[in-house]
Amino acid sequence: MYDVIVIGAELRDETAVLSCKEENDTVTVTFKGKSVYTEQAKFVLDCEGVVGAVKRKLLNNTPKYILIF
C-alpha cells in the first residue's frame, strides 16, 4: 500500500521479513515487499507479540507450541 515515516520510524505495509541476523552493533534484515531488499539498523522493532516471526528468526528458535505451515 504505502510507507509512512513517523518520528524517524518507518512502517512498511505488505512487507515480510525473510531473514534477520545480528552482527556486532547492527541487525541486518532482508525484506520482501514489492521487491527483495536488505537493510541494516541498530534497532529493529517486532510488534507481532510473543510468537512473532522476527523474534523467532533472531533467536533461531521456534517453540513446540507454535505451528509453522
Break the chain into its structural domains and give their ranges.
16-69
Q: Report the pLDDT averaged over residues 18-44.
A: 88
pTM: 0.61
Alpha helices in 1-68 (DSSP H): 53-59
- Whole-number Å distance between alpha carbons of 41 and 24: 11
Whose cell is 533472531? That residue is 58
Q: Residues in the chain, how many?
A: 69
Q: What is the pLDDT of residue 6?
A: 58
Q: Which amino acid is at 5?
A: I
Q: Are 16 and 32 in contact (CB under 8 A)?
A: yes
More confident residue, 44 or 30: 30
